Amino acid sequence: MQTKKYKCKECGCEEFISKPLQYGIFENQDGKLVFIKSESINEQLELFCRECSQKLPFKEEDLIY
């Protein structure tokens, strides 16, 4: 079985960022800020190359949260 590897077709980067219309929710727990979840203003998740901003095509079933 071949493992699919996501890589930017433009620059080869392997790190991707989400669209800016998302935000993380943090909660105070014992004086620490703990990440609870991420919510999106837009219902569809879009990912972009961290280096060159090229949009990444991906399958929803390849996402791990």
* 15 or 46, which is more confident: 15
The reply to whether 25 falls in a domain is yes
pLDDT at 1: 55
pLDDT value at 11 more than 90: yes
The reply to whether 33 falls in a domain is yes
* 18 or 42, which is more confident: 18
For the residues of the chain, what is the DSSP string, one character each? -PPP----TTT----EEE-TTEEEEEEEETTEEEEEEEEESSSS--EEETTT-PEEP--GGG---
Domain span at residue 30 reads 16-59
The reply to whether 7 falls in a domain is no
Grade residue 3 by pLDDT with cuts at 50, 70 and 90: low
